[in-house]
Amino acid sequence: MSTKKHKFSLKDKFFMEIALDLARSRHGLTGSNPSVGCVIVKNDKIISIGQTSFNGRPHAEFNAIKNSFEELEGSKMYVTLEPCCHHGLTPPCTDAIIKSKISEVIFAVTDVDKRVKNKSFKILKSKKIIVKKGLLKNKIESFYLPYFFNRKKKLPFVTGKIAISKNNIIYSKIQKKITNFYSDKFTHLLRYKNDSLMITYKTLNKDNPKLNCRLKGLEKFSPKRIILDNKLNSKINSYIIKSSNNKNTLIFYNKADKSKISKFKRKSIILVKSKVDRNNRFDIREILKKLYNFGCRNLLIEGGNDLTNSLIKNKIFNKFYLFKSPKNLSKSSEYLKFSGLNTLNQKYQKKINLNLNLRKDRITLYR
């Protein structure tokens, strides 16, 4: 197969940027499938667009073809990822492209899925369709890093987040609020972009959190709640337990009496028995493997000091957001300090201070 590099015009780049925006807007919302954006152009005008559907099907290319109100013969398709060519729960996108008589396909990144990798390129070329790849490759490969990680490691892409005060406190009995309204909104955006969210039972019992997305209009995209609870000590009257159904809440446990197990099952909670070490700690990598099998692809962890520290030390996080408030919190009553700042700086060398106009709160992104 030719490795010839194609020259792309400014118009090509413009249309692929739109396809990337379409893909970005569905990130974390397409189940086990990658989020893909697609733009179809004829005579230098956009005649249709498509995105991967919520939960992953139908695919972006199929949706763009279906959405078009014009004849597609002689048109050009821009798509962020190599179209699929295998039969799954839906027919291959290559079949739909060939049938539609699209004359040219430009995709940014070759799929890492072995069922697809470079195969679609060959199939489309064999049908006399012009096929080019590599447009905005570096930029779009960066977007697909979580998907590549999922496919290669068979694990969820893990994002961590913790909020600390100026004096590094993460909990104060007197002053519960650490960051401001704007940081809260960004936290809810992270919840919207991740399909699952993990805490421990200690955080559940102390804070009684809701763990949902509270951005207006996006509430239905709240993540699945994952609780680490060795002996099923989560408060049965907490919001998480009372609002559970048989799809939105998983608890990983190790040992509990039958009456406790029955009580939690009656609350429609998925209980997953898992091993612990001699210190009664879960093997987080085993937990992540199980979550992947449950369909989790993008996991947000809003843990306390112990869980966050453990995951930092073991370099579990693919990405970590440190929210820092400009105000000190009181030490005059019960409080908890974040002890992992030095370890975070040692383990994750790449730091980016995000300028998000958060009105004095600061976010540092670690990778």
- Concatenating the DSSP letter of every residue in 203-250 gives HHHHH-------STT-GGGPPEEEEE-TT--S-TTSHHHHT--TTTEE
| H or E element, residue 311 | helix 305-313
Q: Flag whether pLDDT at 4 surpasses 80.
A: no
Q: CB of 168 within 8 A of CB of 336?
A: no
pLDDT tens digits along 47-60: 999 999 998 999 99
pLDDT tens digits along 171-230: 888 877 899 999 999 999 999 999 999 999 999 999 999 999 999 999 999 999 999 999
- Token pair 């960066």 is found at 142
The percentage of residues in the chain with a pLDDT greater than 90, rounded to a whole number, is: 85
Instruction: Enter the pTM of the model.
Output: 0.93
Q: CB of 304 within 8 A of CB of 146?
A: no
| H or E element, residue 272 | strand 270-273
For the residues 77-94, what does the mean pLDDT come to? 90
**What does the pLDDT read at residue 1?**
44
For the residues 85-114, what does the mean pLDDT come to? 93
pLDDT-derived band at 12, boundaries 50, 70, 90: very high
Neighbours of 143 (CB within 10 A): 20
Residue 85: name the closest of 77, 94, 76 by CA: 94
**What does the pLDDT read at residue 6?**
80
Quick one: DSSP state of residue 117? T
For the residues 130-135, what does the mean pLDDT come to? 97
CA distance 295 to 33: 10
Q: Indicate the average pLDDT of the chain.
A: 94
pLDDT tens digits along 296-322: 999 999 999 999 999 999 999 999 999
Query: Crossing angle of helices 93-100/119-126, nearest 10°?
Result: 20
CA distance 36 to 140: 10
For the residues 113-133, what does the mean pLDDT come to? 95
Q: Which residues contact 88 (CB under 8 A, 6 or more apart)?
A: none
Does 70 participate in catalysis according to the annotation?
A: no
* Active-site pick, 17, 61, 70, 302: 61
Q: Flag whether pLDDT at 120 surpasses 90.
A: yes
pLDDT-derived band at 7, boundaries 50, 70, 90: confident
| H or E element, residue 172 | strand 169-172
pLDDT-derived band at 104, boundaries 50, 70, 90: very high
